Amino acid sequence: MLTPITNALTIDVEDYFQVSAFAPHIARSEWNSRECRVERNINRILEILANHDTKATFFTLGWIAERYPQLIRQIVQQGHELASHGYGHERASDQTEDAFYSDIHLAKVLLEDLSDTEVKGYRAPSFSIGSDNLWAFDCLARAGYRYSSSIYPIQHDHYGMPDSPRFAYEVRPTLMEVPITTLRMFGRNFPSSGGGYFRLLPYALSRWMLNRVNAQDRESGVFYFHPWEIDTEQPRIEGIGAKTRFRHYVNISRMDGRLNQLLSDFNWGRMDQIFLDRFTKHVAVV
Protein backbone atom coordinates (compact mmCIF):
# COMPACT_ATOMS: atom_id res chain seq x y z
CA MET A 1 0.00 0.00 0.00
CA LEU A 2 1.35 3.42 -0.99
CA THR A 3 2.12 5.95 1.74
CA PRO A 4 -0.37 8.86 1.63
CA ILE A 5 1.08 12.05 0.16
CA THR A 6 1.25 15.18 2.33
CA ASN A 7 0.54 18.36 0.37
CA ALA A 8 1.68 21.87 1.25
CA LEU A 9 -0.98 24.36 2.32
CA THR A 10 0.13 27.97 1.82
CA ILE A 11 -1.46 31.34 2.51
CA ASP A 12 -0.26 34.57 0.87
CA VAL A 13 -0.82 37.09 3.67
CA GLU A 14 -1.89 40.35 2.05
CA ASP A 15 -5.02 42.47 2.28
CA TYR A 16 -7.63 42.96 -0.43
CA PHE A 17 -6.37 46.44 -1.42
CA GLN A 18 -2.82 45.14 -2.02
CA VAL A 19 -3.76 42.79 -4.86
CA SER A 20 -1.58 43.47 -7.91
CA ALA A 21 -4.59 43.75 -10.22
CA PHE A 22 -5.88 46.66 -8.13
CA ALA A 23 -2.60 48.61 -8.33
CA PRO A 24 -3.84 50.92 -11.14
CA HIS A 25 -6.84 51.83 -8.98
CA ILE A 26 -5.38 52.01 -5.45
CA ALA A 27 -2.22 54.03 -4.87
CA ARG A 28 0.24 52.82 -2.25
CA SER A 29 -0.20 56.16 -0.52
CA GLU A 30 -3.80 55.10 0.17
CA TRP A 31 -2.94 51.83 1.90
CA ASN A 32 -2.76 53.33 5.40
CA SER A 33 -6.20 54.90 5.01
CA ARG A 34 -7.94 51.75 3.75
CA GLU A 35 -9.92 49.47 6.04
CA CYS A 36 -7.61 46.58 6.97
CA ARG A 37 -9.35 43.22 7.20
CA VAL A 38 -6.37 40.88 7.18
CA GLU A 39 -6.33 40.36 10.96
CA ARG A 40 -9.89 39.04 11.21
CA ASN A 41 -9.40 36.90 8.09
CA ILE A 42 -6.19 35.32 9.37
CA ASN A 43 -7.86 34.61 12.70
CA ARG A 44 -10.63 32.80 10.83
CA ILE A 45 -8.05 30.81 8.85
CA LEU A 46 -6.19 29.87 12.03
CA GLU A 47 -9.49 28.66 13.48
CA ILE A 48 -10.18 26.51 10.41
CA LEU A 49 -6.67 25.02 10.52
CA ALA A 50 -6.98 24.25 14.23
CA ASN A 51 -10.31 22.51 13.65
CA HIS A 52 -8.61 20.23 11.10
CA ASP A 53 -5.39 19.84 13.11
CA THR A 54 -3.50 21.16 10.08
CA LYS A 55 -0.28 23.17 9.85
CA ALA A 56 0.46 25.53 6.97
CA THR A 57 2.95 28.06 5.62
CA PHE A 58 2.08 31.77 5.75
CA PHE A 59 3.92 33.84 3.11
CA THR A 60 3.60 37.19 4.84
CA LEU A 61 4.18 40.77 3.73
CA GLY A 62 6.55 42.82 5.86
CA TRP A 63 4.06 45.70 5.57
CA ILE A 64 1.44 43.53 7.29
CA ALA A 65 3.88 42.24 9.90
CA GLU A 66 4.86 45.75 10.97
CA ARG A 67 1.24 46.67 11.65
CA TYR A 68 0.12 43.38 13.22
CA PRO A 69 3.13 41.96 15.10
CA GLN A 70 0.94 39.98 17.50
CA LEU A 71 -0.67 38.24 14.52
CA ILE A 72 2.77 37.14 13.34
CA ARG A 73 3.62 35.72 16.76
CA GLN A 74 0.25 33.98 16.87
CA ILE A 75 0.93 32.22 13.55
CA VAL A 76 4.26 30.89 14.84
CA GLN A 77 2.94 30.01 18.31
CA GLN A 78 0.29 27.80 16.72
CA GLY A 79 2.95 25.76 14.94
CA HIS A 80 2.75 27.18 11.44
CA GLU A 81 5.67 28.21 9.25
CA LEU A 82 6.28 31.93 8.78
CA ALA A 83 7.71 32.75 5.35
CA SER A 84 8.24 35.93 3.33
CA HIS A 85 6.09 37.52 0.64
CA GLY A 86 8.46 40.48 0.39
CA TYR A 87 7.87 43.79 2.13
CA GLY A 88 5.55 45.91 0.00
CA HIS A 89 3.95 43.50 -2.50
CA GLU A 90 5.91 44.85 -5.44
CA ARG A 91 6.24 42.47 -8.36
CA ALA A 92 9.80 41.21 -8.72
CA SER A 93 9.57 41.83 -12.46
CA ASP A 94 8.89 45.54 -11.81
CA GLN A 95 12.00 46.06 -9.65
CA THR A 96 15.69 46.49 -10.29
CA GLU A 97 18.01 43.87 -8.87
CA ASP A 98 19.14 46.19 -6.07
CA ALA A 99 15.59 47.19 -5.17
CA PHE A 100 14.45 43.58 -5.13
CA TYR A 101 17.29 42.55 -2.84
CA SER A 102 16.51 45.41 -0.45
CA ASP A 103 12.84 44.40 -0.36
CA ILE A 104 13.41 40.69 0.36
CA HIS A 105 16.20 41.39 2.84
CA LEU A 106 14.10 43.90 4.79
CA ALA A 107 11.14 41.51 4.89
CA LYS A 108 13.27 38.61 6.13
CA VAL A 109 14.91 40.63 8.90
CA LEU A 110 11.61 42.14 10.01
CA LEU A 111 9.76 38.82 10.10
CA GLU A 112 12.59 37.10 11.97
CA ASP A 113 12.84 39.89 14.53
CA LEU A 114 9.10 39.79 15.22
CA SER A 115 8.78 36.02 15.36
CA ASP A 116 12.16 34.99 16.81
CA THR A 117 12.31 32.22 14.20
CA GLU A 118 14.23 31.65 10.96
CA VAL A 119 12.40 32.63 7.79
CA LYS A 120 13.43 30.07 5.18
CA GLY A 121 10.93 30.57 2.36
CA TYR A 122 9.89 33.30 -0.06
CA ARG A 123 7.11 33.73 -2.59
CA ALA A 124 7.18 36.52 -5.13
CA PRO A 125 4.01 38.61 -5.39
CA SER A 126 1.94 37.44 -8.37
CA PHE A 127 4.52 34.69 -9.09
CA SER A 128 6.61 37.39 -10.73
CA ILE A 129 9.91 35.56 -11.17
CA GLY A 130 10.25 34.52 -14.79
CA SER A 131 12.69 34.04 -17.62
CA ASP A 132 13.50 37.77 -17.76
CA ASN A 133 14.52 38.15 -14.11
CA LEU A 134 16.18 34.91 -13.05
CA TRP A 135 18.73 37.07 -11.22
CA ALA A 136 16.08 37.14 -8.47
CA PHE A 137 17.20 33.66 -7.41
CA ASP A 138 20.75 34.95 -6.88
CA CYS A 139 19.32 37.69 -4.66
CA LEU A 140 17.28 35.18 -2.65
CA ALA A 141 20.30 32.96 -2.09
CA ARG A 142 22.39 35.97 -1.05
CA ALA A 143 19.69 37.10 1.39
CA GLY A 144 19.78 33.71 3.10
CA TYR A 145 16.53 32.16 1.93
CA ARG A 146 16.54 28.38 1.54
CA TYR A 147 13.62 27.96 -0.81
CA SER A 148 11.37 29.92 -3.12
CA SER A 149 7.84 29.16 -4.31
CA SER A 150 7.62 31.86 -6.95
CA ILE A 151 7.07 30.17 -10.31
CA TYR A 152 3.76 28.99 -11.71
CA PRO A 153 4.53 26.73 -14.71
CA ILE A 154 1.49 27.83 -16.75
CA GLN A 155 0.66 30.32 -19.48
CA HIS A 156 -1.07 33.37 -17.97
CA ASP A 157 -1.52 36.99 -18.98
CA HIS A 158 0.18 38.27 -15.80
CA TYR A 159 2.76 35.59 -14.94
CA GLY A 160 3.97 32.07 -15.67
CA MET A 161 6.84 29.98 -17.00
CA PRO A 162 5.12 27.03 -18.73
CA ASP A 163 8.42 25.38 -19.72
CA SER A 164 9.94 25.36 -16.22
CA PRO A 165 10.03 22.19 -14.07
CA ARG A 166 6.71 21.23 -12.50
CA PHE A 167 8.14 20.00 -9.20
CA ALA A 168 10.76 21.05 -6.63
CA TYR A 169 14.31 21.46 -7.90
CA GLU A 170 17.59 23.07 -6.88
CA VAL A 171 17.64 26.40 -8.70
CA ARG A 172 20.86 27.62 -7.04
CA PRO A 173 23.42 25.64 -4.97
CA THR A 174 21.80 26.78 -1.69
CA LEU A 175 18.28 27.46 -2.94
CA MET A 176 15.32 25.27 -3.93
CA GLU A 177 12.43 26.38 -6.12
CA VAL A 178 9.10 24.72 -5.32
CA PRO A 179 6.70 25.63 -8.14
CA ILE A 180 2.96 25.96 -7.77
CA THR A 181 1.37 22.64 -8.70
CA THR A 182 0.08 21.95 -12.20
CA LEU A 183 -1.57 18.98 -13.88
CA ARG A 184 0.09 17.79 -17.10
CA MET A 185 -2.42 16.78 -19.80
CA PHE A 186 -2.58 16.99 -23.59
CA GLY A 187 0.96 18.36 -23.78
CA ARG A 188 0.37 21.36 -21.53
CA ASN A 189 0.20 22.32 -17.85
CA PHE A 190 -3.15 23.11 -16.24
CA PRO A 191 -3.51 25.11 -12.99
CA SER A 192 -4.58 22.80 -10.19
CA SER A 193 -3.59 24.39 -6.94
CA GLY A 194 -5.65 27.23 -5.61
CA GLY A 195 -6.36 30.91 -5.96
CA GLY A 196 -9.02 32.04 -8.39
CA TYR A 197 -8.95 28.71 -10.19
CA PHE A 198 -10.06 26.94 -7.03
CA ARG A 199 -12.98 29.33 -6.64
CA LEU A 200 -13.94 29.17 -10.33
CA LEU A 201 -13.77 25.44 -11.02
CA PRO A 202 -16.17 22.90 -9.50
CA TYR A 203 -14.70 21.52 -6.29
CA ALA A 204 -14.89 17.95 -7.61
CA LEU A 205 -12.60 18.90 -10.50
CA SER A 206 -10.04 20.55 -8.19
CA ARG A 207 -10.07 17.48 -5.97
CA TRP A 208 -9.64 15.18 -8.97
CA MET A 209 -6.64 17.15 -10.27
CA LEU A 210 -4.80 17.12 -6.95
CA ASN A 211 -5.59 13.44 -6.49
CA ARG A 212 -4.11 12.76 -9.93
CA VAL A 213 -0.87 14.61 -9.09
CA ASN A 214 -0.57 12.64 -5.84
CA ALA A 215 -1.42 9.27 -7.41
CA GLN A 216 0.31 9.46 -10.81
CA ASP A 217 3.23 11.81 -10.21
CA ARG A 218 3.63 10.72 -6.57
CA GLU A 219 4.42 14.32 -5.74
CA SER A 220 3.21 16.71 -3.04
CA GLY A 221 0.97 19.47 -4.28
CA VAL A 222 1.40 23.14 -3.36
CA PHE A 223 -1.97 24.80 -2.74
CA TYR A 224 -2.31 28.56 -2.16
CA PHE A 225 -4.97 31.10 -1.29
CA HIS A 226 -5.29 34.59 0.18
CA PRO A 227 -7.03 35.79 3.35
CA TRP A 228 -9.34 38.08 1.36
CA GLU A 229 -10.67 35.05 -0.56
CA ILE A 230 -12.77 34.01 2.46
CA ASP A 231 -14.00 37.56 3.12
CA THR A 232 -17.45 38.11 1.64
CA GLU A 233 -17.80 41.53 3.32
CA GLN A 234 -14.63 43.14 1.96
CA PRO A 235 -15.15 46.59 0.39
CA ARG A 236 -15.80 46.48 -3.37
CA ILE A 237 -13.28 48.40 -5.45
CA GLU A 238 -14.81 50.85 -7.88
CA GLY A 239 -13.67 51.40 -11.45
CA ILE A 240 -12.04 48.01 -12.08
CA GLY A 241 -12.57 46.16 -15.35
CA ALA A 242 -14.98 43.27 -15.80
CA LYS A 243 -12.20 40.66 -16.01
CA THR A 244 -10.48 41.90 -12.86
CA ARG A 245 -13.81 42.05 -11.01
CA PHE A 246 -14.69 38.51 -12.05
CA ARG A 247 -11.27 37.09 -11.11
CA HIS A 248 -11.28 38.70 -7.68
CA TYR A 249 -14.85 38.14 -6.54
CA VAL A 250 -15.99 34.94 -8.26
CA ASN A 251 -17.38 32.40 -5.75
CA ILE A 252 -15.87 34.07 -2.69
CA SER A 253 -18.99 33.04 -0.80
CA ARG A 254 -18.14 29.38 -1.45
CA MET A 255 -14.48 29.56 -0.43
CA ASP A 256 -14.92 28.84 3.28
CA GLY A 257 -16.88 25.65 2.64
CA ARG A 258 -14.56 24.47 -0.12
CA LEU A 259 -11.51 25.09 2.03
CA ASN A 260 -12.95 23.02 4.86
CA GLN A 261 -13.74 20.21 2.42
CA LEU A 262 -10.23 20.35 0.97
CA LEU A 263 -8.66 20.03 4.40
CA SER A 264 -10.82 16.98 5.07
CA ASP A 265 -10.05 15.28 1.75
CA PHE A 266 -6.22 15.51 1.77
CA ASN A 267 -3.22 15.46 4.11
CA TRP A 268 -1.61 18.88 4.57
CA GLY A 269 1.57 20.31 6.07
CA ARG A 270 4.19 23.07 6.03
CA MET A 271 6.42 23.82 3.06
CA ASP A 272 9.66 23.56 5.03
CA GLN A 273 8.81 20.20 6.56
CA ILE A 274 7.66 18.69 3.28
CA PHE A 275 10.30 19.98 0.87
CA LEU A 276 13.36 21.12 2.82
CA ASP A 277 13.42 18.03 5.03
CA ARG A 278 13.13 15.82 1.93
CA PHE A 279 15.92 17.75 0.17
CA THR A 280 18.20 17.54 3.22
CA LYS A 281 17.70 13.77 3.42
CA HIS A 282 18.41 13.39 -0.31
CA VAL A 283 21.65 15.35 -0.04
CA ALA A 284 22.72 13.27 2.98
CA VAL A 285 22.13 10.04 1.04
CA VAL A 286 24.01 11.27 -2.01
Burial (CB count within 10 angstroms: exposed 0-12, middle 13-18, buried 19+), residue 6: middle
| Residue-wise pLDDT tens digits, 31-90 | 999 999 999 999 999 999 999 999 999 999 999 999 999 999 999 999 999 999 999 999
pTM, entire model: 0.94
| Residue-wise pLDDT tens digits, 178-232 | 999 999 888 788 877 888 889 999 999 999 999 999 999 999 999 999 999 999 9
Q: What pLDDT, on the 0 to 100 scale, is given for residue 185?
A: 83
Angle between helices 97-115 and 135-143 (to 10 degrees): 30
| Residue-wise pLDDT tens digits, 226-259 | 999 999 999 999 899 999 999 899 999 999 999 9
DSSP 167: S
Residue 246: give its domain's CATH number.
Answer: 3.20.20.370
SS3 label, residue 276: helix
In a domain, 144, yes or no: yes
Q: Which of 13-17, 155-159, 259-263 has the lowest mean pLDDT?
A: 155-159
pLDDT confidence tier of residue 285, bands split at 50, 70 and 90: very low
Q: What pLDDT, on the 0 to 100 scale, is given for residue 157?
A: 56
Say yes or no to pLDDT of 281 above 60.
no
In a domain, 249, yes or no: yes
Q: Cα-Cα-Cα-Cα dihedral of 233, 203, 179, 87, to 10°?
A: 10
pLDDT confidence tier of residue 284, bands split at 50, 70 and 90: very low
Query: H/E element holding 246?
Result: helix 242-249
Q: What pLDDT, on the 0 to 100 scale, is given for residue 159?
A: 62
Q: How far apart are CA 38 and CA 106, in angstroms?
A: 21
In a domain, 1, yes or no: no
Of 116 and 158, which is predicted with more confidence? Answer: 116
Tell me the average pLDDT of the chain. Answer: 92
Total domain count, the chain: 1
Q: Which domain holds residue 202?
A: 6-285
